[in-house]
Amino acid sequence: MSSDALAPTKDPAGPGAPSGPPGEVAPGGGPAGAACAPPSGPPTPASRTGWDAVAWGAVFLALSAALQFAVSGDPYDADTAYHAAVGRLVAEHGLLKAFPWTPFSWLADHYADKELLFHIFFAPLSWLPWTVAAKVVGTLSGATLLLALYLVLRAQGVRWAGAWTLVPLVASDVFLFRFALVRPHLLSIALSLAALWAAARGRLLVLGLVALVFPWAYVAWQLPLVLVAVAELARVVSGERLRWKPAAVALLCTAAGIALHPNALNLVRFNWVVVADVLVRNAWGGGEVVELGLEFLPFSAEQWLRWMLGATAMALAAVPLAWRRRREDPVAVAFALGALLFGALTLRTARFAEYFVPFSAAALALAAQGLGARWRLAVPAVTLAASLAYSGAPLLETLEGLRSRPSRLDPGTAEAMRARIPPGSQVFTCEWGLTGTLMLALPDRRFLVALDPTLFQLKDPELYRLWVRLVFRPPDGAAEIIRERFGARYVACFWDERFRKLMDQLAFAPGVRTVLFTEDWSVYDLGEPDAGEPAAPEPAGSLEGAGAPAGAGDGRDGPGGGTPAGRMPAPAAPGDPGAGAR
């Protein structure tokens, strides 16, 4: 998105005056197209040249790079490894039409890359170590988010737009943590900010481009349509008429983006799976798949007070300020409503905090423009100071947690696994969250399921239930069941006390060899295959401690336990009734 596309425009009715077809009269007597007119009065040098946007873009890039390269250790979130692995597969095979690497997943036969654009970013970096490639992608994605927020505020003539853009980073350590994760939600937030602004201002070209890109960037490609509805609701409460063009543009361009996607039909089906099965039935409805990662749980009251109070205060302050100027600036009303929408979703599911915080900051920044000139600097200064006072200690805890994250699979252990598990092997795992990590360490091997255990449950509910039983309540003869029902000769399990019964049974089962045993991983060879599968090479040297990582444990609970780094996503097992207490 160029800075010109979001350049400040003003007209006598104010920065948020409605736009519409030429000649249409807007409420208040002015032409509805006045919002697209040249700025009234002489432009400032910055608005004339755009160098302020370039300068702030450099600042955002530097901040994002510092967070990724100077602060963060290994990528904190296991999903990052999956995205890096898919990026390498795209580089090697081109755009994927199937996913045979997880044959027990619904995606094996109905593949849809719901974050294709993100994986395309990874593809040309496949020659780099995956952790370095992830940091590069994270740097660019984070800077894109901040730049999108800045350009929206700049387009609305917000004074000190750069300072306002920094507010989300200090207002909540939950947002800082989510911002540091190398995941495609960063692109989705940037596109959502642009979509709501474009819908509220009637900038149909920007709205169309965002809607066209969304199906390639993120699974929730219906977000532009939702945000258009928010913008039109803001127009109604501001005393203006509904418009049909923004909704038509968003709908047509979203449909075009889906049609152009190489997995178009499956993309629509996958979206339904994510919304209906993953979010509504399993995450919100307590369905059969009970462990989806901690990010799907709601915050407790104590956690909300500790982490989300700043964002809540900004959203609630923005609502009356925007309402006072609703006839002059429906854009501020739209962002206030958007903040309330994402706040309501965050009450139900913690991961929506990544939208709630920046939308709340944008809403307050826009609404505060109605205050007197003397408040233009005071409000962002006070907001930044109050945010630092509120979140300072948790922010430092989260930064330390990001820095000290130990590797889940160090190079020595990965090399030992490659030596003992031949290419082409089917590997049984005790959880789904680390499949991406294993895909990077063991290319050309097959695993059970990645991304979400719901995808296993959808493909074969009976076999999914057997997997859960084997992992948590293994019956006698588990090794033979794994070989016969899952076609796997090898079992690779990350250490977790919940998996002890299975690992103890396999360690002493007749015909089963422990081919790798480290502080974090146990790998078992279940015996000679019936036909066709290569045998494991005999490991050299002692098994005890082979390839052991330097640090103990995987750090899943995060330093301090109570920080967002310990509260948010962690490697997850297929299903565990006690998972929510972790």
State pLDDT tens for residues 338-397. 999 999 999 988 989 999 999 999 999 999 988 877 777 788 899 999 999 999 999 999
pTM over 0.85: no
CA distances from 368 to 56, 237, 308, 378, 382 (A): 21, 19, 21, 10, 12
Residue with the bigger pLDDT between 30 and 266: it is 266
Nearest-angstrom CA–CA distance, 181 and 86: 17
The model's pLDDT over 176-198, given as tens digits with 9 standing for 90+, comes to: 999 999 999 999 999 999 999 99
The model's pLDDT over 143-181, given as tens digits with 9 standing for 90+, comes to: 999 999 999 999 999 989 999 999 999 999 999 999 999
Q: How confident is the model at residue 279 (pLDDT cuts 50, 70, 90)?
A: low
The model's pLDDT over 72-97, given as tens digits with 9 standing for 90+, comes to: 988 888 899 999 999 999 999 999 99
Nearest-angstrom CA–CA distance, 289 and 274: 13
How many CB atoms are closer than 10 A to CB 104? 23
Residue with the bigger pLDDT between 363 and 277: it is 363
What is the SS3 assignment for 319?
A: helix
> What is the maximum span of the chain, computed from C-alpha positions, in angstroms?
87
Average pLDDT over residues 485-493: 95
Mean pLDDT of the chain: 82
Question: pLDDT at position 294, please?
Answer: 65
Q: Cα–chain-centroid distance for residue 563?
A: 18
Question: pLDDT at position 529, please?
Answer: 56
* 132 pLDDT more than 80: yes
* 122 pLDDT more than 50: yes
**Partners of 457 in the beta sheet?**
none
Residue with the bigger pLDDT between 582 and 248: it is 248
Residue with the bigger pLDDT between 444 and 25: it is 444
Residues whose CB is less than 8 angstroms from the CB of residue 238 and which lie 6 or more positions away in sequence, other chains included: 326, 327, 330, 333
The model's pLDDT over 296-335, given as tens digits with 9 standing for 90+, comes to: 688 999 999 999 999 999 999 999 999 998 988 999 999 9
Average pLDDT over residues 536-554: 34
Question: pLDDT at position 105, please?
Answer: 94
* 518 pLDDT more than 70: yes
With a pLDDT cut of 70, the percent of the chain lying above it is 79
